[in-house]
C-alpha cells in the first residue's frame, strides 16, 4: 500500500527511542531529522514538513513525554495524531441529498485519472446510495476521451451523455442537465478535460462551466505520485474554482503518497475518496485515521472489517467457522472460502490491511493466480474426494489424476493437501486457545503458521535489518 515506505522510515526512527525510559534532547533531534527526511522522500511539501516536525518536536519536548512512563509510545502517539490531523482529522462522509439532483464536477491535470474516477464514482454511488447516475463527457480535447467514457459507461451499465467533440463543454453541460431531468438521473458526474493549472484559457473554461452548472460538488482529482508541485496544482485549482473536495488516485502503486498529506493541509478541503487500482470497484472512502495508522504500520483493520461485511454473508461465515472448529473441513468448504476471499478483492490488498502483515508481505510474492490454480485442482476432484479429503491423501493414483486433469503438478496437489490439513489444525488450535494467551503484538501468529506450508508466503526477508535499503 501506498504509505508503506514512509512507515518503514518512521518506524526506523522510532525504533531508536523504543524502550528508552527517558528521551534526551539529542534523541528527539535525531528522530526529527529522520522524520523530516522520511516525509520529504514521501513527497510531502517541504513547508508542511517543516511545520509538522516543529509541532512534534515541541510536543515531544514537553514535560508530558520527557517524564512519561513510556516515552517512545508517547512519541508514536503524537506522530500518529499529527499525521491524522494533517490528513484531515475526521473522515469526511460524502452524503447525497436525495431530495434533489446532485451534480459533481471532476477536474485536474492531464493523466490524473479523471475519466476512470468518474466511472468509479458512478459505480460507488449507485451501490452505496442506490441512485441512478449519469456520466457526462466534457473532455472535447483529448483524442478519444469521449470514447473512453462511453466504454466505461457500457461496462458499468451507466448512461453516458455525450455530444462528440464539436460543441463547447458549457453547451454540452447545459444540455446534459435537461437530459438528466427527462430520464430521472439523480446524480450527474461531469468529466472535464485535463489541463495545466496555469493554462488561463482552459481554467477560464472551467470557471465558465462552473457558472453554467453551479455544481454541488467540485472535486480535484490528484495523482498520488505527484511531487512537490501538488501544492501549486491544488492552490491554483482551489483559487479558480473553490473546490469542495479531492480524490487521490493510483494509491495502489508503491508511491508514498505524501502529496495527499500536503494537499489537505494547503487547500483545507477534505480528501473524499481514493482510487486503488484499474478495476472499477477499486475505490474507497478516504479515512484520515486509518491512513495515519497505515503510515505508522499499524495496519488497517477497520477497512478489512468493512470489506468483509460488505462482501461476505454472515451466515456463510458462521457455518464456515463451525465447520472449521469441528475439524470436518473439506475441499468444498475450502472452495467456498476461496470464493469469499476473491469477492473481497485481491489477496495482496487484503493482507495489507492486516496489522503487521504489511511488513511481512513486503517481499512476499502473493499471486492471486495461485488461488485460481487451487480452484482448478479442486474442480478436478470427484464429489466423493471433495467431501472426504482422506481419499486423496491415501491414494497416489488419485493425486496423479487430479494433477493431470487440472494441468498442474503432483507436487501442487500434495501442497494443497498439506494446506488443508494445516488449516484444519490451526483452526482447531484457535478454537481451544485461551484468549489471554493470544499475543497482542502479533495477532498474525496463527495465520503465519497456517500459511507457511502452502509455500505461498515467505517471511519478509531481513525483517528489521537492512531496511535502510529502500532509499534506492
Residues of this chain that interact with another protein (CB under 8 A) are 37, 40-43, 46, 109-113, 141-152, 155, 196-198, 223, 225-230, 232-233, 250, 252-256, 258-259, 278, 365, 367, 369, 471-472
Residue closer to another protein by CB (options 144, 438) is 144
Residue closer to another protein by CB (options 200, 390) is 200
- In 3D, which of 320, 301, 338 has the Cα closest to residue 456? 338
Beta-bridged to residue 160, according to DSSP, are 135
The least CB distance from residue 52 to another protein, in Å, is 14
Q: Is 24 left (phi over 0), alpha (psi -120 to 50) or beta?
A: beta
The least CB distance from residue 257 to another protein, in Å, is 9
Q: Cα–Cα distances in Å, from 250 out to 33, 113, 260, 270, 408?
A: 29, 8, 11, 18, 35
The least CB distance from residue 349 to another protein, in Å, is 12
Residue closer to another protein by CB (options 40, 308) is 40
Residue closer to another protein by CB (options 119, 288) is 119
Residue closer to another protein by CB (options 71, 257) is 257
* Sign of the dihedral through C-alpha 410, 412, 415, 420: negative
Q: Exposed/middle/buried for 362, CB within 10 Å: 0-12, 13-18, 19+?
A: middle
The least CB distance from residue 291 to another protein, in Å, is 17
Rounded CA gap, 68 and 432, in Å?
39
The least CB distance from residue 385 to another protein, in Å, is 31
Residue closer to another protein by CB (options 215, 358) is 358
Residue closer to another protein by CB (options 256, 307) is 256
| Pair 304, 350: CB distance under 8 Å | yes
Long-range contacts of 55-62 (CB under 8 A, 24+ apart): 55/82, 56/32, 56/82, 57/28, 57/29, 57/32, 60/23, 60/28, 60/31, 60/32, 61/25, 61/28
Residue closer to another protein by CB (options 241, 413) is 241
Residue closer to another protein by CB (options 20, 50) is 50
The least CB distance from residue 96 to another protein, in Å, is 26
Beta-bridged to residue 191, according to DSSP, are 106, 137
The least CB distance from residue 228 to another protein, in Å, is 5
The least CB distance from residue 150 to another protein, in Å, is 8
3-state secondary structure string across 111-169: CCCHHHHHHHHHHHHHHHHCCCEEEEECCCCCCCHHHHHHHHHHHHCCEEECECECCCH
The least CB distance from residue 471 to another protein, in Å, is 6
* Sign of the dihedral through C-alpha 152, 155, 159, 162: positive
The three cell numbers locating residue 443: 495477532
Rounded CA gap, 358 and 254, in Å?
13
Amino acid at each position: 500500500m501506498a504509505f508503506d515506505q514512509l512507515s518503514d522510515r518512521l518506524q526506523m526512527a522510532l525504533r531508536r527511542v523504543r524502550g528508552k525510559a527517558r528521551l534526551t534532547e539529542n534523541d528527539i533531534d535525531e528522530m526529527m531529522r529522520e522524520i523530516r527526511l522520511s516525509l520529504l522522500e514521501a513527497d510531502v511539501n517541504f513547508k508542511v514538513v517543516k511545520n509538522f516536525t516543529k509541532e512534534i518536536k515541541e510536543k515531544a519536548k514537553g514535560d508530558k513525554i520527557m517524564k512519561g512512563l513510556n516515552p517512545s509510545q508517547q512519541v508514536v502517539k503524537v506522530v500518529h495524531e499529527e499525521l491524522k490531523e494533517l490528513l484531515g482529522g475526521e473522515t469526511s462522509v460524502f452524503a447525497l441529498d436525495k431530495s434533489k439532483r446532485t451534480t459533481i464536477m471532476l477536474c485536474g491535470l492531464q493523466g490524473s485519472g479523471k475519466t476512470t474516477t468518474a466511472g468509479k464514482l458512478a459505480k460507488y454511488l449507485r451501490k452505496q446510495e442506490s441512485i441512478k447516475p449519469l456520466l457526462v463527457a466534457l473532455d472535447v480535447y483529448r483524442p478519444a476521451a469521449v470514447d473512453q467514457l462511453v466504454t466505461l459507461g457500457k461496462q458499468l451499465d451507466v448512461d453516458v451523455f455525450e455530444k462528440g467533440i464539436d460543441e463547447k463543454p458549457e453547451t454540452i453541460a447545459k444540455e446534459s442537465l435537461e437530459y438528466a431531468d427527462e430520464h430521472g438521473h439523480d446524480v450527474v458526474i461531469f468529466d472535464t478535460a485535463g489541463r495545466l493549472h496555469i493554462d488561463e484559457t482552459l481554467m477560464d473554461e472551467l470557471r465558465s462551466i462552473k457558472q453554467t452548472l453551479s455544481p454541488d460538488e467540485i472535486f480535484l482529482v490528484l495523482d498520488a505520485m505527484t511531487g512537490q508541485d501538488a501544492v501549486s496544482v491544488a492552490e491554483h485549482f482551489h483559487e479558480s474554482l473553490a473546490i469542495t473536495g479531492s480524490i487521490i488516485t493510483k494509491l495502489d502503486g508503491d508511491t508514498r503518497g505524501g502529496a495527499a498529506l500536503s494537499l489537505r493541509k494547503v487547500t483545507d478541503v477534505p480528501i473524499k475518496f481514493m482510487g486503488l487500482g484499474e478495476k472499477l470497484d477499486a475505490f474507497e472512502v478516504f479515512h484520515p485515521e486509518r491512513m495515519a495508522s497505515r503510515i505508522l504500520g499499524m495496519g488497517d483493520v477497520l477497512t478489512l472489517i468493512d470489506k468483509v461485511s460488505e462482501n461476505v454473508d454472515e451466515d456463510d461465515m458462521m457455518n464456515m467457522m463451525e465447520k472449521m472448529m469441528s475439524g470436518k473441513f473439506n475441499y468444498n468448504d475450502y472452495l467456498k472460502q476461496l470464493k469469499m476471499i476473491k469477492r473481497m478483492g485481491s489477496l495482496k490488498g487484503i493482507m495489507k490491511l492486516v496489522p503487521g502483515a504489511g511488513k511481512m508481505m513486503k517481499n512476499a510474492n502473493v499471486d492471486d493466480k495461485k488461488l485460481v490454480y487451487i480452484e482448478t485442482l479442486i474442480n478436478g476432484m470427484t464429489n466423493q474426494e471433495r467431501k472426504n479429503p482422506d481419499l486423496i491423501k491415501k491414494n497416489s493414483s488419485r493425486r496423479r489424476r487430479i494433477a493431470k486433469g487440472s494441468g498442474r503438478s503432483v507436487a501442487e496437489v500434495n501442497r494443497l493437501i498439506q494446506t488443508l490439513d494445516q488449516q484444519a489444525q490451526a483452526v482447531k488450535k484457535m478454537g481451544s486457545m485461551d484468549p489471554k494467551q493470544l499475543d497482542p503484538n502479533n495477532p498474525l501468529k496463527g495465520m503465519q503458521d497456517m500459511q507457511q506450508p502452502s509455500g505461498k508466503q515467505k517471511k519478509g526477508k531481513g525483517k528489521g535489518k537492512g531496511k535502510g535499503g529502500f532509499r534506492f
